[in-house]
Every structure is written in structure tokens, then in C-alpha cells.
Amino acid sequence: MPATDTIALLEAATYTGLLVWVSITLVLTVVYCIEVLAAAFLPKRQIQCSEERVPMVVLIPAHNEEAGLAETLKASQKGLYPFDRILVVADNCTDNTASVARRNGADVIERNDPDHRGKGYALDFGVRHLEQNPPGCVVILDADCVPEASALDRTRQVAGHLGRPVQARYLMTQSEDTIAQKVSVFTFRLKNWVRLLGVFNLGGPSLLTGSGMAFPWDVLAKADLAHGHLVEDMKLGLDMALQGVSPIFCDDAIILSPLPQSVDGAATQRSRWVRGHLSLMWVALLRLPKHLAQRKWSAAALVVSVLVPPLTILIILQGVAVVSSLILTALLKLPFLPLGMAFGTMVVFLIATLVAWWGYGRDVIPARSLLGLVAHVLVRIAKYPAAVFRPKRTGWARTERDADSSEN
């Protein structure tokens, strides 16, 4: 083959590869933008349900949570009726979690199985215990979360009326007034509020986000919970959709949790979320063709949401697309289409994110802090590989929340 033909072939292959890369980044960004803009501009859907209340159990998996568990239990009890109860699973605890739970009015079961650590195993242990006297509804709540007064009751009503899992609005609150925590609070809002609300307004299903999740008993009893997946909540949502009972978002029920004060705790939490999400993306991608072939539109929609990577990774993908397009277009004199697509992708992403900030983030990040936000994001991107892909920890990696203790 003549040298000129070889060069032309390499240029064509390079152009095709670049176009594919830019197109993938564009599609993922468009999904994100549609979700955000649907939350900002579409009328908020209302969930109409009856006033009937089935008996509810608030299931709280807890691993060494003696410090903050009492506050969670007191807040949870405010939303209970006489026929409701709280069950705490003290899982492989080495502190006084069980006694704190008992002193604050909760039923307690203790699990000790060092070879099978993780939130999923604790939840499965709790569900198997409830089989002796099953409730009508189970609400899963993390041990560091504080539900607003009507949150648990509202999720119970919706789950009971629709016969579907329900995800409450689960948000983080600042424990320190730092730009790092402001960014974390806002990105958490994007993931757990804005995007879920956008999909809800479009009539789509909700991802499960880990706390404030309500399930009709007959749905949860069949769930595969006994595993140690890093994002067991997201996996559970996909499994539910596959079974034809897609979760639904309930914006009226609010669950709050403080961000870790410990820098290492925050990094560990973020690393766990990101690694888990990335591992689940591949599983979701393999499921997508089957869902489409079987016309399981709700399950397919949930898979598409899962395929949007964590925000920092999405920004990195866009940056790589722009830089590689710019360099290859200049060096090889390639057509400008990939470069235009890459720049356009970044522009629509910025517009959608500014819209989300205007509607859902100005109280956290005021306009005067936007330059600091940009600088922090750039620093986070530079540190991202080392922070996220740190050595894995086995077992239940409890997040260190206090400054003295030692997504996205």
C-alpha cells in the first residue's frame, strides 16, 4: 500500500475515532441537560394518593453509629403512628450502637458476620427478620439522616397507593462553611434532586439514592439485598425496574444528612460512590439492548440515567474531547465537525448547570463565590484520579464524619 494511502487511512481512522468519542460525550451531556432543564422549566407533577396508611417499619442499618443515631431516631419518631415502629440493625458493631438504639425506643437486632460486611447484608438481615411479622411498608433510612416531620409518612402513603418503591428528596447539608462543602452540597443537589425531579416531570422513573427509600412489603421481600456492592441503592433501583416496579421520586418528602467534616471521610465517601457508579455503568449498558428489545421503556430510561457519569468525570470527558479535537484538527487538518460538537457540548453543559444553580443552588453558592467554585473544580479535577482510585477497603467502609475522626 502506498505511503499516501496509509496516511489517508490513518487520518480517516483518527477522524472516526474522534467523532465517536465526541458523540458519546455529547449524548451523555444531552441526557444530563434534558434532566436539568426539565426540572427547571416543566410544571412539577403532583402525586395524588389516598389517605390510607399501612403499618410501616423504618429500617435503619447501622455500623458503629452511636454518636449520631439518637438524633435520627428522635426525628424519625415524630412521623410515626402507633402501629409503626423502628428497627435498627446493629451490624458488626464494636461500639454502643445497639444500646443507644434501645434507649431511644427502637427495636434492635444485632448481626455479627465479619466475612460478610456491608449495608446490603445488613438490610437483608433486617428484611428476613421482618418476615416473622411483615409490615405493609418498609422505609430504609441511613443512621446519620434526619427526616423532616412528614417525610416518612409521605413516602409510606405514596408507596402504598402506587405499589412502587419511592425515593424521597435526600440531600446533604454543610457541616463547615468551606467552598469544598458548598460544591459538594450543590453537586449532591444536582444528582439527588434536580436530575431526579427532571425525570419525574418527564414521567420517568427514579434512581434510588440510598436513604429515604420506601417499599411495599411484597416488593422488598423479593429483592436481592445480600451483597456488598458499593452502590447497592442504585443497583436495587435497576433490579426493581427490571421486575416491572420502577421507583418513583417524591419531592415532597425531604431527608437531610450532614457532610463529613473529616477530609479523609469525604474523600472516602466520594471514592466509594464514584467507583460503585462506574462499575454499575457497565452492567447497565449491557442491559440496555435487552430492555429496548423487550420494550421495557421505564427500565431503559433508568439505565440511561445511570450511564451519565459523576459530574467531575463528565467535565473531564468534555475537556478531553475539546483538547483532542483542537489538537488533531490543527495537526491533521481534519474537518471541524468534531471540534464544533465538542465546544457545543461544553457550552450546553455550562448553560444547563447555570440554570440549575440559579434555581437550586444560589442559596448554597452565591454569585460572588462562582470564581472560587471554578478554581475548586479545577483543583478537584487535577486530584481526581488519586482521590477516587485509592486502594479499596473491604467491608462496610463507614464514613468518618467528624473532624477528629481518623459522589461527585
Supply the pLDDT for residue 389.
63
Rounded to whole angstroms, the Cα distance separating 197 from 193 reads 6
Same domain, 207 and 226: yes
Residue 388 lies in a domain: no
Record the pTM.
Answer: 0.91
Q: Which residue among 337, 360, 383 closes a domain?
A: 360
Residues 315 and 193 in one domain: no
Domain boundary (360, 375, 394) is at 360
What is the domain range of residue 259? 56-307
132 and 270 in one domain? yes
Same-domain pairing of 330 and 250: no
- CA distances 91 to 30, 108, 113, 116, 138, Å, are 41, 10, 8, 10, 18
Which string of b and e fits 298-313 if b means at least 16 CB within 10 Å? bbbbbbbbbbbbbbbb
**Quick one: 92 and 167 in the same domain?**
yes
Evaluate whether residue 391 is within a structural domain: no
Are residues 118 and 136 located together in one domain of the fold?
yes
Considering the domain boundaries, does residue 405 fall inside one?
no
Residue 224 lies in a domain: yes
pLDDT of residue 381: 84
61 and 97 share a domain? Answer: yes
In a domain, 346, yes or no: yes
Domain check: are 164 and 77 in the same one? yes
Q: Yes or no: say if 67 and 399 are a contact pair by the CB < 8 Å rule.
A: no
Residues 303 and 333 in one domain: no
Note whether residue 273 is domain-resident: yes
Q: Domain check: are 227 and 90 in the same one?
A: yes
Question: Which cell goes with 145?
Answer: 439522616
Q: Which three cell numbers stand for residue 275?
A: 467507583
Helix axes 337-360, 3-41, angle to 10 degrees: 20
Are both 28 and 89 inside the same structural domain? no
- Tallying the residues shown for the chain, one arrives at 408
The pLDDT assigned to 140 comes to: 98
Buried b (16+ CB within 10 A) or exposed e, 233-254: bbbbbbbbbbeebbbbbbbbbb
Task: Specify whether 298 is located in the same domain as 317.
Answer: no
pLDDT digits (tens, 9 = 90+) for 41-59: 999 999 988 888 999 999 9
**Does 294 fall in a domain?**
yes
Average pLDDT, the chain: 90
pLDDT per residue as tens digits for the range 279-296? 889 889 998 998 999 999
What is the pLDDT at residue 398?
61
pLDDT at 405: 36
CATH number at residue 77: 3.90.550.10
Taking 70 as the pLDDT cut, the residues of the chain under it are 1-3, 262-263, 386-408
Could you say which of 307, 323, 342 is where a domain stops? Answer: 307
Say what the pLDDT of residue 371 is.
81
Indicate whether 119 belongs to any domain. yes
Domain count, the chain: 2
pLDDT of residue 406: 33
